[in-house]
A = this chain, B = another copy of it.
Amino acid sequence: MKGKRVTIIGLGLMGGSLGLALKQRGLAAHVVGCGREALLTRAMEMGAIDSGAVDAGEAAAESDFVFLCTPVETSIGLLREIAPRLKAGALVTDVGSTKEAFAAAAREIFGEAAHELVLPGHPLAGKEVSGLEYAEAELYSECLWVLTPLGSAEVASHGELREALARLGARVMEMDAAEHDRTLAYTSHLPQMLSTALALTLKEAMGEGNPGLRVHAGGLRAMLRLAESDAAMWEQIADSNRENLAGALEGMERVLRELRERLGTAEFRGKFEEGREFAKGLRK
């Protein structure tokens, strides 16, 4: 990607951090940003982009690599919008939290050329905060960056993208899009829903401003951290992974019911220990 022109559409936490990382490591000749006027100004000040455009098609037109750094459904709309403007040989990637819907859209828009032109991605670099002001060049350092190729043929631009991501410090891995979405429903989307549901349950049972809400050790705070995540992003994740997430939630509801029904029985201890061993095993 060195010496190439790169466009970043969407200058939030993900896009802003990507711009900072590419610029500070000299991994692109020129970085074009795309977002609202105020964001472009701020991203220029921060040194995250070299130039900017409000229009996505215009921002993407001359670039070799285009990163869609917006929520899933927004990225699908943008892919459709920039498709006719892309220059020959350009590669589009994204950072969306689900991959099947984006892959389907890419196939619909580009047909057989989709595999060559689009390499969907998902950097697992979550934060509960969002927005350009929280962007940092090291966001992707040590992070797992999943790519879900639309086909298996070797493409030069794909190799360039992989190399650039590795230079950002990311650990790049490939996965099937459907497997990605099913997996993330459990490892990411379910934990998020639990945190949100815990907040709603506490509100319902205790109400806001209840002094009892201060009576806890540190555990409650850790369990409510994810609940502070961005609603717009999560609405789109939940929509685009609805079936998998519904299955994960049903499984969770069943396990909670089983734990509840076992309260006061010898089986409760066994279940608790089973969960404990599994959680400890994950840390290894």
Residues of A within 8 A of B (CB): 124-126, 143-144, 146, 173, 175, 179-180, 183-184, 186-188, 190-206, 208, 212-229, 231-232, 234-235, 238-239, 242, 245-246, 248-253, 255-257, 259-260, 263-264, 268-269, 271-276, 278-283
Contact B259 A193 (CB under 8 A): yes
Chain B residues positioned under 8 Å from A249 (CB to CB): 256-257, 259-260
User: What residues of B have a CB within 8 angstroms of the CB of A245 in the complex?
Assistant: 260, 263
Complex CA–CA separation, A186 to B144 (angstroms): 34
- With A143-B217, A186-B201 given, name 6 new contacts (CB 8 A): A196-B259, A200-B255, A221-B282, A231-B276, A235-B272, A239-B264
Contacts of A204 in B (CB 8 A): 251, 255
Q: Across the A-B interface, give the 5 residue pairs with the lowest CB-CB distance, nearest first.
A: A126-B217, A227-B279, A199-B275, A187-B216, A183-B212
Least distance between A45 CB and chain B CB atoms (Å): 28
Q: Take A227-B276, A275-B196 as given contacts and tell me if A186 and B202 are in contact as well, using a CB distance cutoff of 8 Å.
A: yes
A231 lies within 8 A of B198 (CB): no
Of B126, B221, B231, B257, which one neighbours A273 at CB under 8 angstroms? B231
List chain B residues, Cβ under 8 A from A223: 191, 194-195, 222-223, 226
Most-contacted residue by chain B among A126, A214, A268, A278 (CB, 10 A): A278
Chain A residues touching B, majority SS: helix
Q: Do the beta carbons of B203 and A278 come within 8 Å of each other?
A: yes
Task: Please state if A186 and B203 are interface contacts (CB–CB under 8 Å).
Answer: no
Distance between A160 CB and nearest chain B CB, rounded to angstroms: 24
Residue contacts A-B, CB under 8 angstroms, 12 given? A183-B206, A191-B219, A194-B198, A201-B248, A213-B282, A227-B278, A228-B280, A238-B268, A239-B263, A245-B260, A249-B260, A253-B253
Beta-carbon nearest neighbor of A202 in chain B: B186
A269 in contact with B235 (CB, 8 Å): yes
CB distance from A263 to the nearest CB of B (A): 5
**Contact status of A188 and B219, CB under 8 A, knowing A183-B212, A271-B200:** yes
Q: Which residue of B lies closest to A247 (CB)?
A: B205
Given the complex, which residues of B lie within 8 Å of A125, measured CB to CB?
Answer: 217
Contact of A217 among B124, B175, B198, B259 (CB under 8 A): B124
Q: How far is the CB of A134 from chain B (nearest CB, A)?
A: 15
